[in-house]
Amino acid sequence: MSLLIESLCCVDGIIQNIKYHNERMNKSRYDLFGCNDTLCIENFVSLPDYAYTGIWKVRVHYDSAIHHIEYELYKKKSIKTLKIVIDDSIDYSYKYSDRSRIAYLFEKRGNADDILILKNGLVTDSSTANVAFYNGKQWVTPATPLLPGTKRACLIDEGLISQRYIRLNDIGMFTHVSLINAFLDIGDIVVPITSIEM
């Protein structure tokens, strides 16, 4: 089985949303390996001096135990268009380091910057982020993500986004879609619905 990863956002030496990353990591360790103990990522992270300035990706590789941690300068991508791709058999319910199926779907984007994955007729995620749709009043995230993200969980807990099932035909009811992940908050990357290729 592939090792799992947690990709944490570190801003000027402070790891963001660590509670949610710990919860997801320990749930994965329990579900997949039967681990009943609780690990805290912050006890394993030893930030190098250079990671105290700027935005860094802290990538934690683990299975039943934490094996190694990498530090990489974060580079925000420019995403202005999305291409809908369909895969009814994809399973990424845990954050595996093996992303080969997602990479395969990403190659189907054509001229678009990223993809929007549909599974069994329902909207899930982009290739690297959960999504939230704006209807003019509120942000709504699909109730069927491939991977429930840490930023998504935080935004739901804070009441800033709500969940609902979103089908292909529902997309036209919204004006914009925002990509959200550990590095992207609501509104950081927003794509007009008219820039989604069906």
**How do residues 83-100 score in pLDDT, each as one tens digit?**
999 999 999 999 999 999
Give the pLDDT score at 198: 86
Residue 12, sorted as left (phi over 0), alpha (psi -120 to 50) or beta, turns out to be left
Give the pLDDT score at 68: 93
Q: How far is Cα 55 from Cα 10, in angstroms, rounded to an integer?
A: 6
Closest to 6 in 3D by CA, of 36, 20, 14: 20
pLDDT range class, residue 1, cuts 50, 70, 90: low
Helices marked H in the chain = 18-33, 100-106, 150-157
- Beta-bridge partners for 23: none
Which two structure tokens, joined as six digits, stand for 69? 């941690």
**How do residues 111-142 score in pLDDT, each as one tens digit?**
999 999 999 999 999 999 999 999 999 999 99
- Look at the pTM and tell me if it is higher than 0.85: yes
Tell me the three state secondary structure of residue 34: coil
Strands (E), the chain: 4-11, 14-15, 55-62, 66-73, 82-86, 114-119, 122-123, 130-134, 139-142, 161-164, 176-180, 190-192, 196-197
The CA-to-CA distance between both ends of the chain, in Å, stands at 34
**How do residues 179-190 score in pLDDT, each as one tens digit?**
999 999 999 999
